Amino acid sequence: MKVAVTAQGKGLGGLGEEVLREAVFRSRARGGWLLLRGQAGFRAVAALGCDPPEGEPLEVDPARLFPRPGEGALIPLEHAGEPVAYLGLLGARGEASLPLEEWAQVLGLAHELNELSGTASLFRFLFERLADAVYITAFDGTILEANPAAERQTGYPRSELIGMNIMRDIAAEEPAVTYELVNQRLARGETVVFEEKKRRRDGTTYWTECAVALFSYRGRPATISVNRDITDRKKLEEELRHRVEELSILSQLGRTVSASLDLRRVLEEVVVAAREVTRADYANCTLFDEEGRPQESFDPWGQMPLPQRMRSRGFSRWILACGQPLLVDEVHPDGSTTPRVLDQEGNPIPANPVLVEAGIRSLVGVPIPVEGRVRGILFAHSKRPRAFVGKLGALELLAGHAGVALANARLYRTAQEELRARQAAEKELRTLFYESPVALELQDLSRVKRYLDGLRSQGVRDLATYLSHHPGTVAECARLVRVLQANEAALHMFGAKDLHEFQALFPEIVMAEENSTYVNDLLAIWEGRTEYEVVGANRDREGNLVRIFLRWRVLPGYEGDYGRVLVSVLDITDRARMEEALRASEARYRALFEHSPISLWIEGTCLA
């Protein structure tokens, strides 16, 4: 009988009975029983030919289970290094033929499947498919389980991770949030997210973003944490931070000297450092334009007289074309070099005759890259052969600094140009604002918004009804408005001499016609509208009624708090008067027609 076959579709109890029956049959025992591991300990799940041991959980002690010597044998079935079950056999005579390892594997797998039945799909996803490291830990940090991604992330095999303490053994330093605080927040049902620096098995460190939540593991409370490797992101943040620092330094220098002078100072310092580090007789830095033509040279210590025109087959042309550093250990009197410098066709490139005549015996040239292109070359020349052996790395570092300086200078000039363009645009917009014939205001309605949000949080649902029962609220909201700017047309419309007086008059200006216009304003804010228009009335400084057409729009970025709202106001008082006069005239003449004592009509239509 094959246990693996007969056990299909059975629960743990039925599977235990199959194993016990097979064991008794194969060992020719009088009887026996099977103890199976559960959450609380071992318990008897099957018995054959005898009574099972009493008690749950059972103390697995051969002396207790078999009081008489030689009465029976207690056989452990181990899976994954732990006993998953015990076979108790009475008078067994063929124990050696029992497939214990097979039974242990079957029972162990069945036990694991039984424990994970409620969360099998989740664990399958987390442990088999999720690319982020996942740990199940006790509250003291002991790792109870880890997925394959955790092995790849840390370099530890799972067998070593289990039992390690994630706080002491893997964390490289204290996180920004303490584990005590994490446990407190977890106890409140929160999912805690924080960043932590960890250490791999080989000693290297990396950064993770950890999301931790409460979890039930094998019937006990634990935590589950998903750890995403954010080392590249942290490196990028660090690089950006250094970049900002460099730009800040450049900006500080730019307050005293021009950008071009700053660049010259940096490049001259690079040339000086190159000469001092290599003990060269000459050093210089040459910049090139987009077409590869020499543009400017920096040589604070002076250099040998080189021709301004660059050779079509020279060392500079080779570096520009290849984008690689050039190290010549020796320049021979005939212009040949060691090692030979070859062009694209494989022909040797001789040294410039000017260099040979000046007694240069070795040289090095390092490209200065900017945004992926060679925009300059840092050269060092010596009258000694092999003067630059072992110096290439230092010169490449200096060339990198020169490239950063060039890039920063370009960014600085671009930023200055953009700043000037923005300033010009802002000046033009301010001119349009203040010189506009239309009354314009820039208002801050954030305090009004917060006031109305407070009413909503207090349970107010119908603002119009609320305002009708609390008329003082309208005046209170009017006093909360801050007028940040108002153009000349707005001041003139309401008779204010300046912005300060306009702000003081504002509540009186909007409190006209029993607040009807301003009530509509408040309702628009209550509804969350970002654009609004209304025909209504305000009052000027003298109390005169001003008929208006008002329109406002919340500026982009302030939709949440109404901190910046652009308001335009048209004075339609004359038009309103004409419309009222027209309506009055129409009513008067209609009355004459309707009440005339004689018959009047319009061609074909009798009116009276």
Contact indicator for 539, 547 with CB cutoff of 8 Å: no
Contact indicator for 440, 494 with CB cutoff of 8 Å: no
Mean pLDDT of 459-464: 92
Q: What is the pLDDT of residues 23-67, one digit of tens each?
A: 888 888 888 888 888 767 888 888 888 888 887 777 788 777 887
Q: Is the pLDDT of residue 445 over 80?
A: yes
Structure tokens at 321: 């074309």
Q: Is the pLDDT of residue 250 over 60?
A: no
Mean pLDDT of 496-516: 81
Instruction: For residue 47, report the phi and psi dihedrals to the nearest 5 degrees.
Output: -145, 145
Mean pLDDT of 198-215: 91
> Which of 515, 567, 505 is CA-nearest to residue 536?
515
Does 176 or 533 have the greater pLDDT score?
533
| Euclidean distance between CA atoms 45 and 382, whole angstroms | 90
3-state helix/strand/coil string of 5-26: HHCCCCCHHHHHHHHHHHHHHH
> Which of 209, 183, 182, 184 is CA-nearest to residue 197?
209
pLDDT for 154 equals 93
Identify the DSSP state of 339.
S
Confidence of residue 2 (pLDDT cuts 50, 70, 90): very low
pLDDT for 249 equals 37
Q: Is the pLDDT of residue 256 over 60?
A: no
Mean pLDDT of 581-595: 64
pTM over 0.95: no
Does 335 or 298 have the greater pLDDT score?
335
Mean pLDDT of 289-299: 80
Q: What is the pLDDT of residues 78-111, one digit of tens each?
A: 887 888 888 888 887 766 677 877 777 777 777 6
Identify the DSSP state of 127.
I
pLDDT for 585 equals 63
pLDDT for 566 equals 93
Q: Is the pLDDT of residue 549 over 50?
A: yes
pLDDT for 6 equals 37
Structure tokens at 157: 């095999």
CA atoms within 13 A on the CB side of 557: 1
As a residue count, the chain comes to 608
Tokens 């003081």 correspond to what residue?
A: 504
Packing angle between helix 446-457 and helix 472-480, nearest 10 degrees?
A: 140
Confidence of residue 514 (pLDDT cuts 50, 70, 90): low
Q: Is the pLDDT of residue 3 over 50?
A: no
Q: Is the pLDDT of residue 584 over 80?
A: no
Question: If you average pLDDT over every residue of the chain, what do you get?
Answer: 80
Mean pLDDT of 534-560: 88
Mean pLDDT of 159-163: 93
Confidence of residue 236 (pLDDT cuts 50, 70, 90): confident
Q: What is the pLDDT of residues 105-132, one digit of tens each?
A: 777 777 666 665 545 555 666 566 778 8
pLDDT for 83 equals 87
Confidence of residue 587 (pLDDT cuts 50, 70, 90): low
Task: Give me the sign of the Cα torsion angle 285, 289, 295, 296.
Answer: negative
pLDDT for 458 equals 93
Name the percent of the chain lying above pLDDT 70: 82
| Euclidean distance between CA atoms 202 and 199, whole angstroms | 8
pLDDT for 247 equals 43
| Euclidean distance between CA atoms 255 and 247, whole angstroms | 13
Contact indicator for 37, 83 with CB cutoff of 8 Å: yes
- CB atoms under 10 Å from CB of 452, counted, come to 21
pLDDT for 449 equals 94
Structure tokens at 279: 């003990």
Confidence of residue 602 (pLDDT cuts 50, 70, 90): low
Contacts of 457 (CB under 8 A, 6+ apart): none
- Listed in sequence order, the DSSP H helices in 436-486 are 446-457, 463-469, 472-480
pLDDT for 246 equals 40
pLDDT for 173 equals 83
Q: How many helical (H) and strand (E) elements, i.e. helices and strands, does the chain have?
A: 20, 23
Q: Which of 101-115, 296-310, 423-437 has the lowest mean pLDDT?
A: 296-310
pLDDT for 261 equals 45
pLDDT for 583 equals 65
Confidence of residue 427 (pLDDT cuts 50, 70, 90): confident
- Enclosing H/E stretch for 415: helix 392-435
pLDDT for 251 equals 45
Does 596 or 162 have the greater pLDDT score?
162
Q: What is the pLDDT of residues 7-20, one digit of tens each?
A: 344 566 777 788 88
Confidence of residue 401 (pLDDT cuts 50, 70, 90): confident
